[in-house]
Chain A
Amino acid sequence: KAGVTQTPRYLIKTRGQQVTLSCSPISGHRSVSWYQQTPGQGLQFLFEYFSETQRNKGNFPGRFSGRQFSNSRSEMNVSTLELGDSALYLCASSEGDRGQRTGELFFGEGSRLTVL
């Protein structure tokens, strides 16, 4: 089974631009979660999508948004980039059945964004 695939792996943007990151979950997984990792704040939850609906959202400004497609692939977008948005953005997939605690998140390798 292929793992979680994130693209692009590395990218450089300048302040004010926007960026779109993509995540393909493990086949059969319907939940996709996004996390931001910075040296100062550590790993922080951004949002979770399940069956094309945002199910949970972390404490991030509205510049951070996402969506999920019918094939469970997900994208996140950051608009009006700031220097502080430089981070490793991680996507995680899971079976996502709300009716039981599935427990296990499978993370991708991340997309490393540098904002200049």
Chain B
Amino acid sequence: DAKTTQPPSMDCAEGRAANLPCNHSTISGNEYVYWYRQIHSQGPQYIIHGLKNNETNEMASLIITEDRKSSTLILPHATLRDTAVYYCIVPPSPGSARQLTFGSGTQLTVLP
């Protein structure tokens, strides 16, 4: 997988936007960026994925830079339930989206 780098931890005030960065400078042209999160003691949960255009769904927005070397996951109005480890993942090829390499992720703590 293209190597991804994320800060180990971040804090965010409840109700504010949480912006989680990810560097993937070795990403190649056909590799997608995926985001998952894992709330303590639960299985990971898919959030969003994208190739080069910005993406938005009911959970979050994904902003990918024009050179695709970095991205930012945005949770527009963070709640206490958003406290989790967030993983940015770049699988190496189409069809490998089910063979994911999870790094250490970012521990997001939403503060009341």
**Interface residues, chain A, with chain B CB atoms under 8 Å away:** 4, 31, 33, 35, 42-45, 48, 56, 58, 90, 92, 94, 96, 98, 100-110
Contact = CB atoms under 8 A, between A and B. Distances in A.
22 contacts: A33-B98, A33-B99, A35-B102, A44-B102, A45-B99, A45-B100, A48-B98, A56-B98, A90-B44, A92-B43, A94-B97, A101-B32, A101-B94, A101-B95, A102-B97, A103-B97, A104-B46, A105-B44, A105-B46, A105-B100, A107-B43, A108-B43
A45 B89 CA distance: 13
B32 A58 contact: no
A45 B99 CA distance: 6
Contacts of B79: none
Contacts of B101: 45
Contacts of A35: 100, 102
A73 to B, nearest CB: 17
A103 B49 contact: yes
B100 to A, nearest CB: 6
Contacts, number: 60
